[in-house]
Amino acid sequence: MNYRSLATHNAACNEIFYRFQDCENEHPYRRFLGYCEHIQREMHECIKKQREIRRAESAQLRRKRLETGKPAQQETSD
């Protein structure tokens, strides 16, 4: 998994992300034995909570759009 792409989250998750990176950099061989795993789990929990919040906000926005009768805006990908 590419952890560099995970740094785009909120400040709390970024803090955990940077602690995880520091741990891996400080312990290049211990990381293979699970030395930094507790920080990694904490990071995954934070990202999961943030994803659930975004999902709930998106669902709420979707319901609001359906109630008003406006079509949902669709993104076009090139």
Which residues of the chain are under the pLDDT cut of 70? 1-9, 70-78
pLDDT of res. 12: 87
pLDDT of res. 1: 46
pTM here is: 0.65
Helix (H, G, I), strand (E, B) or coil at 61: helix
Torsion of CA 48, 52, 53, 58, to 10 degrees: 140
Query: What are the boundaries of each domain within the chain?
Result: 3-67
User: Do residues 12 and 46 lie in contact, with contact meaning Cβ atoms separated by under 8 Å?
Assistant: yes
